[in-house]
Structure 1
């Protein structure tokens, strides 16, 4: 590795020969249970209360407890989590296109579910209990003809409109490895627990970067100015034959439009993977004072993205795209 990366405290460069057994500890700053297929975690959370909400009017206290369990599981992987979450629950419950995780807000979802029954009554659907309520309680009431009601429309109405973010398709590209998407999401929101944020919380006094020890560790330094991160980006540029000067995680690349959609999506997925690896290596340096060589990081990232692509893609690809993929794996 370039000498400027290893100034200050000695950092051992791992050439890939050793085993990596520190995965769980390395990412304790921002943990996610979303390493499964896209949407499975949020689907499991929603299934916890969606069914029973259609049958019973669940008290708000129970809904708050359900939200607490879901929130703790998201950030800690279990039903109890003592730290303050890195991102507010309201933000997590926003749609992915609006910068959230797409998890349903249980209280609004409950109201939207019961809105279905209100609509049935209002439109006098052909259900025995609706007929009974209409006959007994609403026989002297007049209700105009109502349009069709869907639960998701009712939920969106209760949630209210919010502007879309420009980076959501990058973050939730189907070629992305889910845990990389989660770390990228937290990084774009600037919610990763870098030293400058920990210092504001009173957690650390030494602000030097774990990777280079040249500057104070912050979001900008970690991803844009740290020599180690810059070297990782250079290796990526050379291998993927892309040219950009990233100074933010959103508008990182507006070139390469002449490439195929597949090439652009996989290139985008590797960029998200690179953000994940930089954060991964930062935590490895914090715990073990060693980092992986950027070339090894490149190979690991490309392998993860290509495995993801092979598992998700079911359609044929062009010869040019297949040749490009083979070149990446070499």
Structure 2
């Protein structure tokens, strides 16, 4: 049946990896075009989400092949972009829910008449000679079965929704221990983005670029002594350490270098103080990255004293916009000392 319905190829057999790769190439080419390359990370995010939304129907029709999902580089998850494999399962689960609830749809009636024939959907097992699509729907039904109690979806008051299914599936993934500190509501968004990239080792540091032949050496741009890796840039570089030491003096708090975000969450003190320390640490990461880029582009680097001044200005501007209630007790005294310094 060589035709399409709503842009999706209709055929009796499953789509091959080669057939799916055509759609992937179209998505990737749109993201990698000349206009998209000029966008910042903040501008690129809604651009990617829009393109992925255009292909959402393919995720609803059937489970895509693992090789196809791995090639969907723009759907790996993070920064509000849904993770492709989990999103695919959550969307197909909507079809299984319609079958269970006997939704008023022609294809649902046909399924109950031809496949189920009065059988219980919860315990139904597909025979071997049925279509690949029907087997996928049954497979997803088994995956989502623990989310139901007495036939009722437990994670949304109005029954199953794709969003609630996606959140339920995603909750099974192990959350990074530094998640709450990186995406702390007190943080400046652009600072959180840089920290998120650093924690995921996703920055284009010279050690990585040197290995693929994009630069002549791998020496750190800030100290010119050691190879520039993510850990060195933010934790071991003498320039970065000077900034951290000055910030420690300013905020009267010891900031550990290694696993800083993880240990920051374990520090004693009020919730407000921990959030503010995390915000200051994110600002440090951002300023280190900013100075590194300044050296690469303009061969100019600010002194640690000037960097500390920038961190203070950005953090206090954020605090004034976020803390809309009176601070009392030890937090008030601590914040008063920060303002004086």
Normalising by structure 1, report the TM-score: 0.65
Deviations 1:100-159 (A, max 9, x none): 43521356435523422431221224x465885577657833235733234245436777
- C-alpha separation in 1, matches of 2:203 and 2:59: 40
Bigger CA drift: 206-215 or 176-185? 206-215
The answer as to 2:222 corresponding to 1:211 is yes
> In 2, are the aligned partners of 1:302 and 1:328 still within 8 Å (CA)?
no
Higher helix proportion (structure 1 or 2): 2
Partner in structure 2 of residue 282 of structure 1: 292
Number of residue pairs aligned between Structure 1 and Structure 2? 266
- C-alpha separation in 2, matches of 1:245 and 1:326: 24
> In 2, are the aligned partners of 1:240 and 1:328 still within 8 Å (CA)?
yes
> In 2, are the aligned partners of 1:229 and 1:278 still within 8 Å (CA)?
yes
Map 1:42-61 onto structure 2 (within 5 A). Answer: 45=49, 49=53, 53=57, 57=61
Gaps of 5+ in 2: 1-36, 123-150, 154-159
The answer as to 2:101 corresponding to 1:123 is yes
- C-alpha separation in 2, matches of 1:220 and 1:195: 12
Partner in structure 2 of residue 294 of structure 1: 304
- C-alpha separation in 2, matches of 1:275 and 1:161: 30
The 3 A distance-change label for structure 1 pair 115 and 43 is farther
Partner in structure 1 of residue 118 of structure 2: 141
Q: CA RMSD in A?
A: 4.0
The answer as to 2:156 corresponding to 1:151 is no
- C-alpha separation in 2, matches of 1:209 and 1:306: 30
What is the deviation of 1:207? 2.6
Match of 2:301, SS? strand
Normalising by structure 2, report the TM-score: 0.63
The answer as to 2:215 corresponding to 1:199 is no
What is the deviation of 1:288? 1.6
Partner in structure 2 of residue 268 of structure 1: 278
In terms of Rg, which structure is larger? 2
Greater RCO (Cα-Cα under 8 Å, separation 6 or more): 1
The 3 A distance-change label for structure 1 pair 316 and 124 is farther
Map 1:4-19 onto structure 2 (within 5 A). Answer: none
What is the deviation of 1:172? 0.9
- C-alpha separation in 1, matches of 2:81 and 2:59: 21
Partner in structure 1 of residue 183 of structure 2: 172
The 3 A distance-change label for structure 1 pair 42 and 107 is farther
